[in-house]
């Protein structure tokens, strides 16, 4: 800066440093925006100071617990753990709203506050435990990954969900009971508006009168989404999470336009038998590889044993261009190496190891995407097998960029495996709790559909399946299953009380529908705060998680009642 020279700074270390700085600044933004948005939604719903303070205080205590636990155990803040703040916030507020809405409804029926809280805990407490358990399982499924940041995220997210449940079930009732009922019910709250009942009765009537239409609608949507899934790109880039106008992106673009790019390429060469990397026959084979690669993409000048020998020979012969080549005799090569060693062999270590058994071909090139690189790798393998003497050397691709690509590919697979594990575990739990394989199917179907629909949206708009977007499915499934559990738990309670099948479905919609709608609005609002992020991955997590929650709400309200009617008959007992 003080020199006055125009300058540009980029490279992997610089990019990592800027990533960390952005993560730290975004953490404060997410907490602030999340708080403000949730407070606004609570104020609109309850129109009461206590209706805002009590839920907010409860969730803040949960956040303090998990952040304190992370500090005690030495967990660092990174791009994944940065997502814990909005996730714990919206998950916590969801449980709080279900319990608080039920308590206020019981107060409005004339019950004393102690009795109203007992009813709320009896009807909502078990469902809240199940939702916390299934959400924690969804996050804990990430721990099967061998990628440490992903394992840590799964661990701390599941622990945070547990903390949220404890705070909700212990602290929240004590806070609510200390507030006189008349203060909580003061004013015309939006959650007490009669249009809630009218809307939910309309939903019930629609599922009763037009089940074929609803099933056909979801069927067409799911079929179309399956067809769109194959269009999801798998290509990834070095700076896929950085916006086009970000200074880091602009600096990288400068190097790609004016130099050879910032993406590193490294090929390790290891000799076989008694061969050395500086033997002429080995250098000739390495030169073949370099010439092939140079014809495939815009590689920068290679750093390799061949480069060193050819350049040294060029300078040794007074910079005559015809000598920029590998010498014809091994003795000439050894003489060049001896001269380099006499002047200090530090420069040689850039090209091969002291034993002259291992060398590298290093270069940089533009960030053309993993699929283009994969073609280069496959083509290079085929070229070496057909045109090089592989009895002299082994080779393997390595380096930061290649390992990052492999890591991302493994990360995607492990996320999808984790999602499969979560499906199985949660399905088994639901089957055991409800003692019915039909309840198992009913509990999973409305939560598989939103994931397929979200995948269809990604395919429709060409959003690539990166680690950032793949994690959406695990997060969304753990959260979206909550409303399904609340619905089925209330349905089972209604049937145990002797209600007819249709009356049980109607009462379930009226009893849990309002809380499901409110919590979904809160969840969507909470994840929408991630759209303020400059990171593409964080932005995608917020957008697609919000979409999945919305799809899950529609499936729970419109599809669940139809499934219950289809799988259960009027006289069947409920356990």
**Separation of alpha carbons 145 and 131, rounded Å:** 23
**To 10 degrees, what angle do helices 437-461 and 400-434 make?**
150
pLDDT (tens digit, 9 = 90+) per residue, 203-249? 999 999 999 999 999 999 999 998 998 888 877 777 766 777 778 88
Assign 184 a pLDDT band (cuts: 50, 70, 90).
confident
CB atoms closer than 10 angstroms to residue 398: 13
Whole-number mean pLDDT of the chain?
Answer: 83
Residue 282 has pLDDT above 90, yes or no: yes
Spell out the residues 6+ positions from residue 411 whose beta carbon is closer than 8 angstroms to its own.
145, 147, 150, 467, 470
pLDDT band at 270 (very low <50, low <70, confident <90, very high): very high
Q: Which residue has better confidence, 73 or 186?
A: 73
- Position 191 confidence tier, pLDDT thresholds 50, 70, 90: low
Q: What's the pLDDT tens digit per position in 393-445?
A: 999 998 877 887 777 777 777 767 767 777 777 777 777 766 767 777 777 78
Q: What percent of the chain has pLDDT over 70?
A: 91
Helix boundaries (H) for 141-194? 148-166, 172-177, 181-184
pLDDT digits (tens, 9 = 90+) for 355-390: 889 999 999 888 888 888 888 999 999 999 999 999
If one compares 375 and 85, the residue with the highest pLDDT of the two is 375
The two tokens of residue 369 are: 């995407």
Q: Stretch 279-306: mean pLDDT, rounded?
A: 92
Over residues 330-353, the pLDDT tens digits come to 999 999 988 888 776 677 788 888
Residue 356 region by backbone torsions, left for phi larger than 0, else alpha for psi between -120 and 50, else beta: left
Rg (CA), the chain: 31
Can you say whether the dihedral through the CA atoms of 100, 106, 108, 113 is positive or negative? negative
Report the percent of the chain where pLDDT is more than 90: 22
């Amino acid at each position: 800066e003080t020199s006055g020279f125009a300058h540009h700074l980029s490279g992997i270390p610089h990019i990592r440093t800027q990533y960390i700085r952005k993560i730290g600044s975004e953490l404060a933004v997410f907490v602030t925006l999340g708080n403000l948005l949730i407070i606004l939604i609570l104020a609109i719903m309850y129109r009461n100071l206590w209706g805002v303070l009590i839920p907010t205080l409860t969730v803040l205590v949960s956040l303090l617990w998990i952040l304190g636990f992370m500090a005690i155990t030495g967990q660092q803040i990174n791009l994944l753990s940065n997502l814990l703040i909005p996730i714990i916030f919206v998950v916590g507020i969801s449980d709080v709203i279900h319990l608080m809405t039920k308590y206020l409804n019981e107060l409005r029926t004339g019950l004393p506050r102690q009795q109203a809280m007992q009813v709320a805990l009896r009807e909502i407490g078990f469902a809240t435990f199940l939702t916390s358990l299934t959400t924690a399982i969804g996050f804990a499924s990430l721990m099967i990954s061998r990628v440490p940041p992903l394992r840590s995220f799964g661990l701390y997210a599941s622990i945070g969900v547990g903390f949220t449940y404890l705070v909700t079930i212990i602290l929240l009732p004590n806070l609510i009971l200390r507030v006189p009922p008349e203060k909580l019910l003061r004013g015309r709250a939006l959650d007490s508006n009669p249009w809630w009942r009218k809307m939910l009765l309309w939903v019930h009537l629609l599922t009763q009168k037009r089940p074929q239409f609803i099933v056909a609608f979801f069927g067409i949507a799911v079929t179309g989404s399956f067809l769109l899934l194959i269009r999801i790109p798998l290509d990834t880039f070095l700076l896929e999470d950085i916006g086009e106008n970000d200074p880091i992106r602009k600096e990288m673009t400068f190097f790609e336009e004016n130099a050879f790019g910032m993406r590193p390429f490294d090929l390790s060469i290891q000799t076989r038998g008694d061969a050395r990397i500086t033997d002429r026959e080995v250098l000739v084979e390495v030169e073949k590889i370099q010439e092939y690669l140079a014809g495939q993409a815009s590689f920068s000048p290679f750093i390799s044993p061949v480069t060193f020998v050819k350049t040294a020979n060029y300078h040794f012969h007074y910079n005559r261009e015809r000598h920029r080549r590998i010498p014809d005799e091994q003795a000439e090569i050894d003489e060049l190496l001896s001269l380099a060693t006499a002047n200090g062999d530090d420069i040689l270590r850039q090209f091969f190891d002291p034993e002259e058994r291992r060398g590298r071909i290093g270069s940089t090139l533009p960030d053309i995407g993993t699929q283009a690189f994969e073609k280069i790798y496959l083509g290079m393998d085929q070229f070496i097998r057909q045109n090089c003497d592989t009895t002299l050397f082994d080779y393997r691709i390595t380096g930061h960029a290649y390992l990052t690509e492999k890591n991302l590919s493994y990360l995607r697979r492990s996320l999808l495996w984790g999602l499969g594990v979560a499906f199985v575990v949660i399905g088994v739990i639901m089957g055991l709790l409800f003692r019915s394989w039909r309840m198992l199917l009913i509990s999973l179907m409305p939560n598989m559909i939103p994931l397929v629909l979200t995948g269809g949206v990604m395919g429709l708009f060409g959003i690539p399946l990166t680690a950032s977007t793949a994690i959406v499915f695990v997060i969304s499934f753990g959260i979206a299953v909550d409303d399904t559990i609340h619905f089925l738990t209330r349905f089972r309670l209604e049937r145990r009380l002797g209600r007819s099948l249709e009356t049980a479905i109607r009462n379930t919609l009226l009893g849990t529908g309002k809380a499901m709608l409110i919590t979904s609005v809160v969840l969507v609002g909470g994840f929408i705060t991630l759209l303020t992020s400059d990171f593409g991955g964080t932005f995608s997590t917020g957008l697609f998680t919000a979409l999945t929650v919305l799809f899950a709400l529609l499936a729970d309200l419109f599809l669940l009642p139809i499934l219950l009617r289809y799988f259960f008959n009027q006289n069947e007992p409920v356990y």
